[in-house]
Amino acid sequence: MLNPRLDALTDYPFQRLRDLVDHVAPGGGGDPIMMSLGEPQHAYPDLVGAVMHENRHLYGKYPPVTGTPELLSAVGDWLTTRYALAPDAIDPQRHVQPLNGTREGLFMLAQAVVPPTKAGNQPAVLIPNPFYQCYVGAAVIAGAEPVFVPATEQTNFLPDFVRLDRDLLARTALVYLCSPSNPQGTVADLDYLKNLVAMAREFDFVLAVDECYAEIYDSVPPSGVLQACAALGDGFTNVMAFHSLSKRSSVPGLRSGFVAGDPALIAAFRKLRNYGGAPSPLPVCAASAALWRDEAHVEANRALYREKFDLAERMLHNRFGFYRPPGGFFLWLDVGDGQAAAAKLWREAGVRVLPGGYLARDDAAGNNPGQKYIRLALVQDLSTTADALERLSSTL
């Protein structure tokens, strides 16, 4: 009765974390502090409520799959400015598809682009290891083989796709890349992206770049894959770039993002979404357009994250392999045994963090590239973050 592919999806990290700590009372005396979930706790901009309210009469309408012209053009303008694209590079109607947050889009894309076979074999979907869990779910449900490509200290925390076997690349239908990456906060530079776009075209796979942390950066705005396309020429062929308001504007509950890229892929994706997509309500489209057009709240948001990384740098500087990530809002700390550290932190200090191993799969030799790490999401306010880091320092 059930789809047997679901059996391969048994290890969602937050369920594993609940199994690890929920039967244990949090220690430390004070309130427990949640650093495990990447859910921004910063205040979201006031304009969200105001614009939703102004547009409340539109709840009576079915929203179109393509969103609204206002949202598409706000996204087009934002992409053009953010990535210094030529003024005519983006035609929002052809190049942009609104999403209910990036997760559903990242997942659903695989169903649109993974064929039954590629190069005569089961298609492969390449996934960085560690990775955002949606990618593996998407690959498995689409009938592909998920192939995990290490993104470790040895590879500068980026997957080294170039070294992969050509037979594997020939049967690769889809590659996921996350930049800035979750969990390590690594940024793929323009050369890396250009190389990967060229590979996507040579081996004819779809390159899906998850840029949902693109606006949370320390000092330098991360390059984007659409910029790499602009530098190479040939439009956005084979490429899809995913963006979200969840982190940029601290509105994970609004469920709003978009994908931009290859017009042929956008058209195929839209065709699928006509059958099974859940278009964003029109008041959400209106609020989203206003958010993509406003930069002040994004700068303020970045400043709050910077303060917390300053604090972490002062408190942890030469411990736990601390480094200041160029992007994203996670600390990726080497604690020797991530699962043991997460259990201890909860039991003795009431701080909830995610064991890095839960975000990764074992390699062929049985090594898990996340095993020695814990991931901390710096999403709480400054004083709560200080409290959590103090407890972490004294407990580990």
Picking from 1, 250, 299, 253, the residue whose alpha carbon sits closest to that of residue 103 is 253
Give the residue nearest to ligand PLP (CB): 101
Residue with Cβ nearer ligand PLP (211 or 218): 211
Read out DSSP for 266-322?
Answer: HHHHHHHHHHH--PPPHHHHHHHHHHHT--HHHHHHHHHHHHHHHHHHHHHTTSTT-
Nearest approach, Cβ of 229 to ligand PLP (angstroms)? 20
Residue with Cβ nearer ligand PLP (103 or 171): 103
Task: Let me know how many helices (H) and strands (E) the chain has, helices first.
Answer: 15, 12
Nearest approach, Cβ of 30 to ligand PLP (angstroms)? 26
Nearest approach, Cβ of 242 to ligand PLP (angstroms)? 7
Nearest approach, Cβ of 232 to ligand PLP (angstroms)? 25
Nearest approach, Cβ of 86 to ligand PLP (angstroms)? 27
Instruction: Assess whether the previous peptide bond of 183 is cis (omega < 30° from 0).
Output: yes
Residues 149 and 156: their CA atoms lie apart, in Å, by 13
What size, in residues, is the chain?
A: 396
Residue with Cβ nearer ligand PLP (67 or 257): 257
Distance of CA 184 to the CA centre of its chain: 11
What is the CB-side half-sphere exposure of residue 386 using CA atoms within 13 A? 7
* Contacting residues toward ligand PLP, per CB under 6 A: 38, 101-103, 132, 178, 182, 210, 212, 244, 246, 252, 257
Residue with Cβ nearer ligand PLP (71 or 89): 71
Picking from 258, 256, 249, 303, the residue whose alpha carbon sits closest to that of residue 47 is 249
Residues 135 and 3: their CA atoms lie apart, in Å, by 18
Nearest approach, Cβ of 376 to ligand PLP (angstroms)? 14
Nearest approach, Cβ of 37 to ligand PLP (angstroms)? 8
Residue with Cβ nearer ligand PLP (48 or 349): 48
For residue 17, which amino acid is it? L
Residue with Cβ nearer ligand PLP (98 or 338): 98
353 within 8 A of 375, measured Cβ to Cβ: yes
Nearest approach, Cβ of 182 to ligand PLP (angstroms)? 4
Torsion of CA 222, 224, 229, 232, to 10 degrees: 10
Residue with Cβ nearer ligand PLP (182 or 237): 182
39 within 8 A of 379, measured Cβ to Cβ: yes
Residue with Cβ nearer ligand PLP (20 or 37): 37
